[in-house]
Structure 1
Amino acid sequence: MAGLVGRRDKNSAQSIRGSRIVVAIVIGILFGGIFALLYPNGFASSNHSSQFQGRRLAKSILQIGSTSCESSELVNMLKSDLADLSTKNDELKKKVRDLSKKLMAAEQKNGNAEKQVIVVGEPQKAGPFGTVKGIRTNPIVLADDTVNPRLLKILKKVAVQNELIVALANSNVKAMLEAQVTSIKKIGIPNYLVVALDNEIADFCKENDVPFYTRDPDEEIDSVAKTGGNHAVSGLKFRILREFLQLGYSVLLSDVDIVYLQNPFDHIYRDSDVESMSDGHDNMTAYGYNDVSDDPSMGWARYAHTMRIWVYNSGFFYLRPTLPAIELLDRVADRLSHPPPAWDQAVFNEELFFPSYPGYIALHASKRTMDRYMFMNSKTLFKQVRKDGNLKKLKPVIVHLNYHPDKLPRMKAVMEFYFNEKHDALEPFPDGSDW
């Protein structure tokens, strides 16, 4: 009986030792997995402190089987070490984020990164041939209501679906503004706003129930706004329109030498940062063509192909409130504010169309040319449309008297021709100008 008891005690002791070994192995596997997650590249890439803690953990695991009375203290020590490692891991992640921010800031300063990054979706695989389409419509910016609360209050009343026509005017162009307002009211366009650059225009708007906005005093540009001619005032729009876009509104910028015959918002695609009417007078010049340059001195290589397009008209264009549209306004306004003097339409098109090259980073804005018969310039009207029986039946959205200096009488004739169906109203005028 005593022998039996002795064997039983011996077996129990062996069982306890075996259980301890199993526990040690299980804990070893557990912490081995933790180490693999925290240090995928091994301890060689860790700092000295982490290596020391790792050795402590390894040593502790080996000691697990020595005595059961130490297990509680050992578990607490392991938990403490694990917490320390987790804290250090969080600190490393924070350092990485800080370094990434500093790197991005440095790249932005050097002009080698976008000013703001917008994530538009997860990376995608390219589809089958002929099915791949790039992103054409940039997302709109988040509206900043703090930019100009007074203007925002006006826009909320005037705009329709967050878009409106904006015309700048001072007393020098009052007569043309009156003609334009007449056409606006004839069509019944509600979302039309005049930026009144002087008191006379503000008074005119009040008397004729035309929504208007007067800017806050600005010594730098007030003298131009109040006394400048058509081109000088035209250059101001790039600075003034910025706040409209920042507030989250799409803007159809309109010079005052434009007659409205239909609501333009029924004919805008809204798929690009910029939609503009063209100064082109046919399909090739309006939409682009391959032009061949000839240099006989080059012999066999005398012919060189070029791509050409007539400029966009900076007196009638639609801007969505996107980062590229705002950057366009900033670029043009900045160039026009520094010597040498430049024509706003030339600068507007250079920023839109010139590509990046050494020393220059181009604007990445999507563009759309408006239908040249719907958004018609006066060269197209007087040289082509009025002489064609079929084209005369078309009713454009607008007619822009941009090609002619006798703007007001031609504006009135256009309204007679299209509104009052006076078929000979355009006949007295020459194709071009007398000078």
Structure 2
Amino acid sequence: MSGPGRRDVPLMRNYGNSLRGSRIAVAVTIGILLGCVFAVLFPHGFFGSDPPIQGRRITKSNVQVGSSPCESSERINMLKSEVVTVSEKNAGLKKQVQELTKKLRLAEQAKEDAENQIWALGEQHKAGPFGTVKGLRTNPTFLPDESVNPRLAKLLEKVAVRKELIVALANSNVKDMLEVWFTSIKKVGIPNYLVVALDDEIENLCKLNDVPVYKRDPDEGIDSIAKMGGNHAVSGLKFHILREFLQLGYSILLSDVDIVYLQNPFDYLYRDSDVESMSDGHNNMTAYGYNDVFDEPTMGWARYAHTMRIWVYNSGFFYIRPTSPSIELLDRVADRLSRKPDSWDQAVFNEELFFPSHPGYEGLHASRRTMDFYLFMNSKVLFKTVRKDSNLSKLMPVIVHLNYHPDKLPRMKAVVEFYVNGKQGALKPFPDGSN
């Protein structure tokens, strides 16, 4: 039993292997056939993919090959030309932007300057408690502009002290008074003063006496007034001439020549206003202002009208700072005097300073201060009051202006005798007023 069973086993193994090998061969054959069928039916793949890469490469290659070297060169040149055109446009736009930026910067600078003018009056702050708020009236000064008059600018650099000086205009008509004027200045020891000579005679006089002098360049519109004009004509001329001094950045103490100097006036200035002027007033009321009541009985209950009054500033002696309102004042007065030469410069000067804005008129927004009338004394105060008062006569004024009297030269000499040489009776021979 065992023998025949062991012989049958090898035959079965051979048969199984043969059968398995036949199946594999059949499967391989079927796979190959199916692959061929699919390759024929679906040449681009079973899932519909993009065209072969080879085809795309050929297409691009065909396009590139289709462009000749000449066409490529023309295309490049055209592109270069377009680049140049665009670059030129960009350059033009850039220039316009720079110009606009410059204009914007200038506008911003102007705005900043205006803001500085405003904020220069004080820091921005809230109102303080009752009684503590004080207004500021010191306007900022202009920046110097030496291009206005380079020759005068060089002279002022030598003469002025801390950008301040006394200035007087003179022609040969006031030669004798001018000598008393600059002699008193020298006696006091005031270094910063200047004579604006309106003719050759005054220029030579100043040079012979070592007096700082400035002779203006010829000006047909002014020379006739300067050389032949009387006191009022020359007085009106000063408003035109002073403008250059302010533009150059200097504060000016304008002085007529009928003035005797007894102390240095720069030691007594406040410098807190655009204009600081001596008064034609002769006491506290007239010099500093008062409430004057006007009576009109026909008005019954409202018969009394209160008015504010002040005696005028003297246009022959005032301190003026180089500010915007100051220059506007000079321009206004000079313009009015040029249109109406017969006008009195002192009246016009005060009208421009004090008249308020009203319909049809824009007032001048200038700050002003009245000088102490005992220190900056007019001749009415001296001859009507001071010389008759034992206490007031002991007071040493800064200046005495002989503005109220026509006999100016002898009174100027008498003032020198009284205050400088100590001659007590020097003022007695003169009447209070003019004969």
Q: Cα gap change, 1:426/1:151 in structure 2, threshold over 3 Å: closer, same or farther?
A: same
The Cα of 1:262 is off from its aligned counterpart by 0.3
1:413 maps to which residue?
414
1:245 and 2:246 equivalent? Answer: yes
Structure 1 SS opposite 2:147: coil
1:380 maps to which residue?
381
Question: What does the per-residue CA deviation read over 1:219-277, in whole Å, with 9 as the maximum and x for residues that have no partner?
Answer: 01110000001111000000100011111100000000000000000000101100000
CA distance in 2, matches of 1:395, 1:226: 36
The Cα of 1:339 is off from its aligned counterpart by 2.6
1:308 maps to which residue?
309
CA distance in 1, matches of 2:341, 2:182: 35
Question: What does the per-residue CA deviation read over 1:305-331, in whole Å, with 9 as the maximum and x for residues that have no partner?
Answer: 000000000000000111111111011
Q: Indicate the structure (1 or 2) with the bigger Cα radius of gyration.
A: 2
1:349 and 2:328 equivalent? Answer: no
Question: What does the per-residue CA deviation read over 1:196-219, in whole Å, with 9 as the maximum and x for residues that have no partner?
Answer: 000000000010000000111110
CA distance in 2, matches of 1:339, 1:182: 36
Q: What letter corresponds to residue 203 of structure 2 in structure 1?
A: A
What are the within-5 Å matches in structure 2 for residues 24-423 of structure 1?
118-120=118-120, 123-339=124-340, 341-423=342-424
The Cα of 1:337 is off from its aligned counterpart by 0.4
The Cα of 1:381 is off from its aligned counterpart by 0.1
CA distance in 2, matches of 1:304, 1:406: 40
Q: What letter corresponds to residue 127 of structure 1 in structure 2?
A: G
The Cα of 1:124 is off from its aligned counterpart by 2.3
Q: Name segments (4+ residues, structure 1) moved above 3 Å.
A: 114-119
Q: Cα gap change, 1:426/1:201 in structure 2, threshold over 3 Å: closer, same or farther?
A: same
2:60 maps to which residue?
none
- Which consecutive unaligned segments of at least 5 residues does structure 2 have? 1-96
Q: What letter corresponds to residue 273 of structure 2 in structure 1?
A: S
Question: What does the per-residue CA deviation read over 1:78-125, in whole Å, with 9 as the maximum and x for residues that have no partner?
Answer: xxxxxxxxxxxxx9xx89x97x97xx99xxxxxxxx999644366421
CA distance in 1, matches of 2:376, 2:223: 31
CA distance in 1, matches of 2:233, 2:394: 36
Structure 2 SS opposite 1:259: strand
- Which consecutive unaligned segments of at least 5 residues does structure 1 have? 1-90, 106-113
Question: What does the per-residue CA deviation read over 1:277-317, in whole Å, with 9 as the maximum and x for residues that have no partner?
Answer: 00001110000000000111111100000000000000000
The Cα of 1:341 is off from its aligned counterpart by 2.6
CA distance in 1, matches of 2:195, 2:118: 33
Contact 2:117-2:140 at 8 Å conserved across structures: no
Question: What does the per-residue CA deviation read over 1:146-171, in whole Å, with 9 as the maximum and x for residues that have no partner?
Answer: 11000001100000111000000000
CA distance in 1, matches of 2:194, 2:266: 14
Q: What letter corresponds to residue 425 of structure 1 in structure 2?
A: A
Q: What letter corresponds to residue 280 of structure 1 in structure 2?
A: G
Question: What does the per-residue CA deviation read over 1:393-435, in whole Å, with 9 as the maximum and x for residues that have no partner?
Answer: 000000000000000000000000000000000000000000x
Structure 2 SS opposite 1:381: helix
Q: What letter corresponds to residue 421 of structure 1 in structure 2?
A: G
2:8 maps to which residue?
none
CA distance in 1, matches of 2:377, 2:191: 22
CA distance in 2, matches of 1:361, 1:123: 27
Q: What letter corresponds to residue 402 of structure 1 in structure 2?
A: N
Q: Cα gap change, 1:131/1:243 in structure 2, threshold over 3 Å: closer, same or farther?
A: same
CA distance in 1, matches of 2:117, 2:362: 17
TM-score by length of 1: 0.73
CA distance in 2, matches of 1:133, 1:122: 13
Structure 1 SS opposite 2:350: helix
2:429 maps to which residue?
428
CA distance in 2, matches of 1:142, 1:128: 36
Structure 2 SS opposite 1:327: helix
CA distance in 1, matches of 2:156, 2:196: 12
Q: Which moved further from structure 2: 381-390 or 176-185? A: 176-185
2:33 maps to which residue?
none
Q: What letter corresponds to residue 138 of structure 2 in structure 1?
A: T
CA distance in 2, matches of 1:154, 1:342: 33
Q: Cα gap change, 1:149/1:382 in structure 2, threshold over 3 Å: closer, same or farther?
A: same
CA distance in 1, matches of 2:347, 2:238: 15
CA distance in 1, matches of 2:268, 2:127: 33
Structure 2 SS opposite 1:372: coil
Structure 1 SS opposite 2:224: helix
The Cα of 1:181 is off from its aligned counterpart by 1.1
Q: Cα gap change, 1:401/1:340 in structure 2, threshold over 3 Å: closer, same or farther?
A: closer
Q: Cα gap change, 1:290/1:241 in structure 2, threshold over 3 Å: closer, same or farther?
A: same
CA distance in 1, matches of 2:432, 2:123: 55
CA distance in 2, matches of 1:242, 1:160: 19
Q: What letter corresponds to residue 370 of structure 1 in structure 2?
A: M
Q: Cα gap change, 1:426/1:255 in structure 2, threshold over 3 Å: closer, same or farther?
A: same
Structure 1 SS opposite 2:315: strand
1:70 maps to which residue?
none
Contact 2:261-2:400 at 8 Å conserved across structures: yes
CA distance in 1, matches of 2:158, 2:408: 31
2:44 maps to which residue?
none
The Cα of 1:134 is off from its aligned counterpart by 1.6
Q: What letter corresponds to residue 145 of structure 1 in structure 2?
A: E
Q: What letter corresponds to residue 364 of structure 2 in structure 1?
A: L
Q: What letter corresponds to residue 157 of structure 1 in structure 2?
A: K
